[in-house]
Amino acid sequence: MKIPARPLAVLLLLSGCAATTTTPPQPSGDPVALSAALNRVSWGVNTSTWQRAEKQGYERWLDQQLHPAPAKLPPEAQAQIDTMTISQKPVMQLVQELEAQRRDYDKAIADDEAKKAAQRAYQQELTRLAKEAATRSLLRDLYSPNQLQEQMTWFWMNHFNVHQGKSNLRALVGDYEEQAIRPHALGKFRDLLAATLHHPAMIRYLDNEQNAAGRINENYAREIMELHTLGVDGGYTQNDVQQLARILTGVGVNLGDKMPNVRKDKQAEYVRNGLFEFNPNRHDYGDKLFLGQPVKGRGLAEVDEALDRLARAPATARYVSHKLAVYFVADEPPPQLVQRMAERFQSSDGDIAAVLRVMFTSPEFTQSLGHKFKDPVHYVVSAVRLSYDDKIILNTGPMLNWLNRMGQPLYGRQTPDGYALTQPGWASPGQMTTRFEIAKAIGGGSAGLFKTEGAQPLEKPAFPQLANPLYYQSLQKSLAPATRQELDQAGSPQEWNTLLLSSPELMHR
């Protein structure tokens, strides 16, 4: 079935326009406003989420999202996660086995072709582990009842970005997301900042394992202040970068199972926690002056003192609050809202959930609903959630391929600044053409989401159910007349699905 060219032209012309210019009412008691709010707080509204929130009330649903109980995924989704290598082996065992494999073929294999084959096998295994991590992340985005926690996990993974392509980070990104990010995604910012600092993925990505007394590497120190805490206009100086780099000397990674030969007078200060290592031999024990205050040289405790100052600085409260508002409200968020969020950040000692509550319950948030342009990951996940609700997909491969095509693969941002959170980064004509093709694949039921990979693939055909109660009771009422007219002219269910999924309204959240 061939989709006429006119809907695509409509999409390209209207994709930059919000679905509505009216201010929506409060979510409670209004099905259209409720679906709009859920579409923003979750990874995308679907029938089951909408029905749960309607039954228990939006305020209670939001409170449960801000303070979630442990997530229980549908058994079919959890079973896929449970079979993964990254679920069955601790990261330390996983990495050490891979390192042993790499060392063995470097030493033992004399034949060049055999060595190249072994090296390819090593690289392929790293890639497979990274794909497992990405698949697990998408399954949780699609099916976790803790939708806000999963959104915030993605947000913080992007904020504290690491690139899987460096060194052996493909074996580390899954654990980084699972242990450093997700447990703290709605907790205290100070704890989150410390968890990222102590994870080998961050240490390795920003070269702090090369940072030692006498040969300072400033990479991580600079990015902590510029991207993770204070912001580029946060008031720090180049001297502060140098002083923080000195504080961070000795913080590194140990992929082996042996303790280094630490000098006797400093052995009590040696710290090993999994793959994280603080080696006193590499630390600069001189006193420092950081952000205008002295730091006495005493080892790893200096790092905690520096993190306290960074996490509790007013500039950090403003910078993080602004970035959260860009993600959840508008490309240029209202300054008054950011100010209130920053004040709550400081009064709550960086309680992320408390800051989000200020934002979610604000009139500025309500007024913004339906106007925030979806980046690729939001578009892909929300389209699958809306199309298939709680029917568990068997293969995330098509979703991963779509994200690659649109330039936003999970763990794929090479630079530490993370992916853009604003519309200009994702609204090009080429981007919109790809989205139309994705909408056609999903809408026609031929996306491959329900067919496993491998020599004997299992397939459970499923056709998207978009003309459902959620659509007729809520979504339809939010569509512009031009969109409704296009849908009325659809010649088949497949075409109707495609037009809805590629409509301007579904490009926004």
Quick one: which H or E segment has residue 37?
helix 31-41
- Write out the DSSP string of 152-219: HHHHHHHHT---TTSTTGGGTHHHIIIIIIGGGTTSBHHHHHHHHHTSHHHHHHTTGGG-BTTB---H
Distance CA(398)–CA(449), nearest Å, equals 6
pLDDT at site 4? 52
What does the block give as tokens for 285?
A: 């024990």
What is the number of other CB atoms lying within 10 angstroms of the CB of residue 106? 12
pLDDT at site 457? 86
Full pLDDT tens readout for the chain, 509 residues: 455 544 444 444 444 444 444 455 678 779 999 999 999 999 999 999 999 999 999 999 999 999 999 999 999 999 999 999 999 999 999 999 999 888 877 776 667 787 888 889 999 999 999 999 999 999 999 999 999 999 999 999 999 999 999 999 999 999 999 999 999 999 999 999 999 999 999 999 999 999 999 999 999 999 999 999 999 999 999 999 999 999 999 999 999 989 999 999 999 999 999 999 999 999 999 999 999 999 999 999 999 999 999 999 999 999 999 999 999 999 999 999 999 999 999 999 999 999 999 999 999 999 999 999 999 999 999 999 999 999 999 999 999 999 999 999 999 999 999 999 999 999 999 999 999 999 999 999 989 999 998 888 888 889 998 999 999 999 999 999 999 999 999 999 999 999 999 999 999 99
**Residues contacting 311, CB < 8 A, separation 6+:** 189, 190, 193, 229, 350
For the chain, what is the largest distance between any 2 Cα atoms, rounded to a whole number of angstroms? 81
400 contacts 410 by C-beta, under 8 angstroms: yes
What is the number of other CB atoms lying within 10 angstroms of the CB of residue 120? 10
What stretches of 171-289 show up as alpha helix (H) in DSSP?
173-175, 189-197, 200-205, 219-223, 238-247
CA 113 to chain centre: 39
pLDDT at site 6? 46
Helix pair angle (238-247, 301-311), 10° resolution: 140
Strand partners of residue 277: 252, 272
Please state the φ and ψ torsions of residue 363, each to the nearest 5 degrees: -65, -30
pLDDT tens, residue by residue, 312-343: 999 999 999 999 999 999 999 999 999 999 99
From edge to edge, which strands make up the β-sheet containing 271-273?
251-253, 276-278, 271-273
CA 90 to chain centre: 22
Residue type, 111: D
Q: How far apart, in Å, do the first and last CA atoms of the chain sit?
A: 29
pLDDT at site 25? 65
Quick one: which H or E segment has residue 290?
strand 288-290
Residue type, 124: Q
State if pTM tops 0.85: yes
SS3 state of residue 63: helix
**Residues contacting 180, CB < 8 A, separation 6+:** 160, 192, 195, 196, 198, 199, 201, 202
Quick one: which H or E segment has residue 335?
helix 335-347
What does the block give as tokens for 117?
A: 């084959």
**Residues contacting 485, CB < 8 A, separation 6+:** none
Distance CA(426)–CA(508), nearest Å, equals 12
pLDDT at site 109? 64
Burial class (CB in 10 A: 0-12, 13-18, 19+), 258: exposed
DSSP state of 416: T
**Residues contacting 160, CB < 8 A, separation 6+:** 180, 181, 192, 196, 202, 228
List the one residue out of 15, 40, 22, 36 whose CA is nearest residue 378. 40
List the one residue out of 447, 450, 441, 446 whose CA is nearest residue 498. 441
**Residues contacting 46, CB < 8 A, separation 6+:** 385, 386, 389, 390, 470
CA-based R_g, the chain, Å: 24
